Structure 1
Amino acid sequence: MSKTREDMKQSAFQRAQSSLKSFSRRVKREQSSCRAPISFLQLRANTNKQPDRRGNITVIPWTVSAQRGNTISQKENRIVVQEDGYYLVFGQVLFEGQRAFMGYVIQSWSSTEAETRPTELLRCLQDITVGAHDNTCYTAGTVHLLQGDELEMVVPFRPSALISLEADSTFFGLIQLN
């Protein structure tokens, strides 16, 4: 019946260790059950199609390169938001050839406004210096979007822009933050 101090220390240590393991499993289980899955969608330029030139703008043809969740989807060359919230919007375009200024605009078509004009969300503008042949333009930002909003990337005022359609050079996407 008599336990040595060493036995008592060992026993207390084992109980504490067991309690810690149990607590750790419970915290992990509670965290995973409370956390909503994150949705994201990344599009890459579709190499099977040429960019669509509409008057003074160029629209890049897109295809899905990565997607998770169901709160963001693709419709033609736009990204459609299925749930109100905050989102990280990002995009990159690799411009080829010599030009003075190149860039693009990421715009939102609101599902709630009666107007049919888009709202500019992000803009990227690059000055391609003399002698440079290629240049990427990357931008990202956090925005509040509503269900039904549609996002589109356009290259304005450069209908003759040479755009790389490689997946690692030209992409556009959205990550749900909440």
Structure 2
Amino acid sequence: MAKMSLTREDIKPNTLQKAQSSLKILSRRVKREQGSCKVPTSFLQLTTNTNKQPDIRGNLTVIPWTVSAQQGNAISLKENRIVVQEDGFYLVFGQVLFNSPSTVMGHIIRSWAFNKTWTTSTELLRCLQEMPDETPANTCYTGGIVQLHQGDELELVIPYSQQTLISMDAESTFFGVIQLN
């Protein structure tokens, strides 16, 4: 049996050149357009302020927050609310670790919009979690993409839960926003 392999000399020069040029084209690195892989312009993550107790306002519990991570100028903290400085789309997220036996616990993330003549509150995200009776500890996490406008304020509140026990640990209870555009 004859060996059926070709050497470089056996291949027609024209065919070899075509193959080499195809390999060069395939192996070329494509330069990405600038900005095609950009990081978020701004983000803000809040954790519980362990020096303060949660604030009870009527039928709402408001967790005291402190800044744990921040970048950029599009988002800031003002009086326990996240304030949006630039219009755009944002990833909003929040988690609370509840330590109370009850049927259902949860929190709401809402947006406040202000104008000279009116103020509106809009519920953006809601998290509900059934609490086990035998070991009353369960997290409730929610997150979503929302369109926000300059001047909007975000807050995380716990409704109808004046006897709620909340974990004030930074890794268990947090609230934040990431600018997407």
Q: Does TM-score exceed 0.5, indicating one fold? A: yes
Matches within 5 A, 1:62-81: 62-81=65-84
Q: Which runs of 5+ in 1 are unaligned?
A: none
- Cα deviation, residue 111, structure 1: 2.7
- Supply the RMSD in Å over aligned alpha carbons: 2.8
Q: Give TM-score scaled by structure 1 length.
A: 0.81
Q: 1:147 and 2:150 equivalent?
A: yes
Matches within 5 A, 1:1-178: 20=28, 27=31, 30-32=33-35, 35=38, 37-112=40-115, 114-178=117-181
Q: Which amino acid aligns with 1:150?
A: E
Contact 1:38 1:177 in 2 (8 A): yes
Q: Tell me: CA distance 1:170–1:37, structure 2 relative to 1, closer, same or farther (3 Å).
A: closer
Query: Could you give the per-residue CA deviations for residues 51-93 of structure 1, whole angstroms, max 9, x where no partner exists?
Result: 0111111100000111111111111210001111111110000
Q: 4+ residue runs of structure 1 moved beyond 6 angstroms?
A: none
Give the structure with the higher percent helix: 1
- Identical aligned residues as a percent: 61
Which protein shows a greater Rg?
Answer: 2
Query: Could you give the per-residue CA deviations for residues 18-62 of structure 1, whole angstroms, max 9, x where no partner exists?
Result: x946xx5xx35x524995752111100111111011111110000
Query: Could you give the per-residue CA deviations for residues 89-114 of structure 1, whole angstroms, max 9, x where no partner exists?
Result: 10000001312211111010013484
Distance in structure 1 (CA, Å) of the matches to 2:151 and 2:174? 22
Pairs aligned (count): 169
